[in-house]
Amino acid sequence: MVKTVAKKNIRYLSLPEIEEYFEKMGEKKFRAKQVYEWLWLKPVQSFEAMTNLSKEMRSKLKEDFTLPGLTVDTIQQSEDGTVKFRFKTHDGHMVEGVLIPTSSRFTACVSSQIGCSLSCKFCATGYMDRKRNLDFDEIYDQVAIINQHCEKTHGKKISNIVFMGMGEPLLNYKNVLKSIERITSPHGMAMSPGRITVSTAGVAKQIKQLGDDKVKFKLALSLHAANDRKRHEIMPINDTNNIQSLIDALNYFYKQTKNEITFEYILFKNFNDSLKDADELIKIYRQVPADLVNLIEYNPIDAAKFEKPEEETVESFMNHLERHKVNARLRRSRGKDIDAACGQLANKESLITPGKF
C-alpha cells in the first residue's frame, strides 16, 4: 500500500523557504516573491487566482501544497452600517467577523476560535462548544476579507482591529500572535500594532506571557463585575483567575510593555450597575495603570436572563466614575439588529441571508 504524504499549507512557509522551493524547480528567485505577495499582500483563496504565474506553475503549486483559506458564506448589513461576515473554514466550520464603520474609523472585529470554552453567561458564543482554534492564516484571512470589503464599499482601508469576536484569544496564544505578526509585517498589511487591541476574559498566566514577549498591541480586560463573587457568577474563568491575580498580571504586563490597557464593563440591570458596584470598579481602576474604562451596553441574547439597565442608571454610573476621575466612555452597541453586537456572535442560522461583495 502506497503511503501518501499530506500536503503542506503553503502559508506555513517563509519567503526564504518558498525561494528554496522555486530554486529546486530551476525557477527564478523572484517567483517566490510573486507567490508571497499573493498569499499575504493581496490574499487569494486559490492558486488559480495567481494570474502572473504560468498555468503550469499554478498546477505545480496546487500539486505540492494546499491553500485552505476562509471563504465568505454569508454577509449581513445592519441599519447602522455595521456588516457581519460568516466565514466558512476549509473543514466546514463557521466563524464570524464584523466591520464597524464610524465617521472617524473602520474597525474589523475578528474571532480567534470556533466556539468558546469559557461559558460566560452573557455571551452567545459562550453557549457554543469550542470546536477548535483558528490557525493564524485563518485569522489573517478574516482581516484581509473585511479590509477588501471596506475598501470596496468605503474607499478606505480598515483603521483598527479588535480581537473581540468568537473565542478567547489568549487560549489560542501562538496563532493570535503569529496572525498579528503577519498583519503588522511590511510583507502583510503593514498595520501599526498600536491600532490592534486584543481582548481577554482574563487568563493571568498568558497576560504575563504577553509582557514577557514584549508585544506592542493594546490589551483589553473583560471585567464585567468588580468583585469575585459576582464575577464568578457570570464568568466561570474567575474561579482560577480571580480579580487580584488579574490586577497583578496587568501590572506586570504594563511594566514590561507600557502598552495601553482598557477595562471593559458590560452593565447588567440590578446586577452590577449600582453606585456600590461603581465604587468597587474605581478601586480596581486605581490599582492598574489603565487608560480607559469602556462601559458597554448589554445586548440581549436568547439564552441569558440579563437585561439592559435604564438609561438613568447608566448615566448615574457613568457620572459617578467621572466624578472620581475615572476616564470612562460609554460604548454604544452597533449591529444589534443583525446579532453583530458585543456578545451576540453565535453563527445563528435564522435571519442570515447569502451575500456578496
pLDDT higher than threshold 60 for residue 292: yes
pLDDT of residue 151: 95
pLDDT of residue 139: 97
Instruction: Tally Cβ neighbours within 10 Å of residue 304.
Output: 18
CATH 3.20.20.70 corresponds to the domain 101-338: yes
How big, in percent rounded to 5, are the helix, strand and coil portions of the chain?
40, 15, 45
Are the C-beta atoms of 112 and 175 separated by less than 8 Å? Answer: yes
CA separation for the pair 101, 104 (Å, rounded) = 8
Active site residue 96: yes
**What does the pLDDT look like over 129-149, one tens digit per residue?**
889 999 999 999 999 999 999
Closest among 63, 211, 212, 87 to 137, alpha carbons compared: 87
Helices (H), the chain: 15-24, 30-36, 55-64, 136-154, 173-184, 204-212, 228-234, 243-257, 275-285, 311-323
Are the C-beta atoms of 263 and 284 separated by less than 8 Å? Answer: yes
**What does the pLDDT look like over 152-161, one tens digit per residue?**
999 999 999 9
Q: For helices 311-323 and 275-285, what crossing angle results, to 10°?
A: 40
Which entry of 19, 96, 168, 264 is annotated as an active-site residue? 96
Active site residue 342: yes
Residue 106 amino acid letter: F
pLDDT higher than threshold 80 for residue 32: yes
Mean pLDDT of all residues belonging to the chain:
90
Are the C-beta atoms of 223 and 263 separated by less than 8 Å? Answer: yes
**What does the pLDDT look like over 82-128, one tens digit per residue?**
999 999 999 999 999 999 999 899 999 999 999 888 888 888 777 78
Are the C-beta atoms of 143 and 75 separated by less than 8 Å? Answer: no
**What does the pLDDT look like over 173-208, one tens digit per residue?**
999 999 999 999 998 999 999 999 999 999 999 999
pLDDT higher than threshold 50 for residue 211: yes
**C-alpha cell, 241:** 483567575
H or E element in which residue 133 lies? strand 132-133
Domain ranges of the chain: 8-66, 101-338
CA separation for the pair 59, 55 (Å, rounded) = 6
Secondary structure letter of residue 31 according to DSSP = H
CA separation for the pair 145, 151 (Å, rounded) = 10
Which entry of 109, 116, 150, 342 is annotated as an active-site residue? 342
What average pLDDT does this structure show over 57-67? Answer: 96
pLDDT higher than threshold 60 for residue 254: yes
CA separation for the pair 84, 145 (Å, rounded) = 12
CATH code for the domain defined by 8-66: 1.10.150.530
Q: From the centroid of its chain, how far is CA 84?
A: 13
User: What is the torsional sign of CA 142, 236, 338, 80?
Assistant: negative
Q: Characterize the bridge pairing of strands 261-266 and 292-296.
A: parallel
Common-topology check for domains 8-66 and 101-338? no
**What does the pLDDT look like over 294-346, one tens digit per residue?**
999 888 877 778 899 999 999 999 999 999 999 999 987 655 555 544 544 45
Percent pLDDT > 70 in the chain is 92
